[in-house]
Amino acid sequence: MAAVRAHRVLPGFGLSLGFTLAYMSLIVLVPLSAVFILTSTMSVQAFLDAVASPRVVASYRLTFGASLMAALINVVFGLLLAWALVRYRFPGKRLVDALVDLPFALPTAVAGISLTALYAKNGWLGQYLEPVGIKVAFTPLGVLVALVFIGLPFVVRTVQPVLEDLDTEIEEAAASLGADRWQTVRRVVLPTLLPALLTGFALAFARAVGEYGSVIFIAGNLPMISEITPLIIITKLEQYDYVGATAVASVMLVASFILLLIINGLQSWSDRRSARGL
């Protein structure tokens, strides 16, 4: 009998791969390659002058430093929030769960204006913080607050499904074998959650590096102090310095890619270690 070919909903591998590569090229590869192509028209000295000036370097430090710190903060508090939403029942739980997604739906400019109004000198919180020496609005601390706000949902929504699939009987078995709560968390819960935490960290970091709308209002945009790199790029574009803008953008693109590659490598290592443990 002639072999009956299996009918698939999607076309074969060759055609599917062709569509995938074509789509990715148009949406991702072509725009990104245009950045490097335009940058390549610069001389080496012009490129260094554009990307290594003191003002631009200061913006690198603030953008990447604040993004890294915000992602680390979100890993800790995002895990606690996801744990509370999965493991406990409390009044208003559904409301809290819905509020987690608010930074996704809220326009970034609205978020920036709201945070500025909240932490300004005469704001609801700022009027109490500034008298004790804590100034948030128009400082690097304000940049950090904005990046924490927009990055929290990435960690919560990445960790939450893993926690829901984690059977509490595993923790009970560890407790029955004599493990205290810290040992159970360190040796049972965290190894299971580590890949999801790394993924949430990477997503929160990537979003924070490219964030503009929610930061621009609360940062104050003081050169060498609270000016972020995306604002440098926008400023160069407004001055019709397209080549300089793409040069700075290429540096951010390469740095972000390297950091995400490192994080994905750590995630793959964690997955392999978990597989060997099983």
Q: Residue 268 pLDDT more than 90?
A: no
pLDDT for the residue 195: 84
- Residue 262 above 90 pLDDT? no
pLDDT exceeds 50 at position 108: yes
Task: Assess contact for 254 and 39: CB atoms under 8 A.
Answer: no
Give the pLDDT confidence score for residue 1 in this predicted structure: 44
Q: In degrees, to the nearest 5, what angle opens at C-alpha 223 toward C-alphas 217 and 228?
A: 55
CA distance 198 to 263: 7
The CATH number that domain 43-277 falls under is 1.10.3720.10
Average of per-residue pLDDT values in the chain: 86
The DSSP code sequence of 99-123 is HHTHHHHS-HHHHHHHHHHHHSTTS
Q: pLDDT digit string (tens) for 203-238?
A: 899 899 989 988 999 988 888 999 999 999 999 999
Q: Which pLDDT does position 73 carry in this prediction?
A: 97
* Distance separating alpha carbons of residues 95 and 72, to the nearest angstrom: 25
- Which tokens in the block code for residue 210? 């490219």
190-198 average pLDDT score: 85
| R_g over Cα of the chain | 23
Task: Quote the pLDDT of residue 276.
Answer: 66
CB under 8 Å to 97, separation ≥6 — which residues?
85
Q: Does position 66 have pLDDT exceeding 90, yes or no?
A: yes
Residue 10: pLDDT band (50, 70, 90) is: low
Asked if 56 and 252 touch (Cβ cutoff 8 Å), the reply is no
DSSP result, 208-230: HHT--HHHHHHH---TTTT--HH
pLDDT at position 269 is 75
Give the Cα separation of 248 and 236 in Å (integer). Answer: 10
Parse the chain into domains and list their residue ranges: 43-277
* 89: pLDDT strictly greater than 60: yes
What's the whole-model pTM score? Answer: 0.85
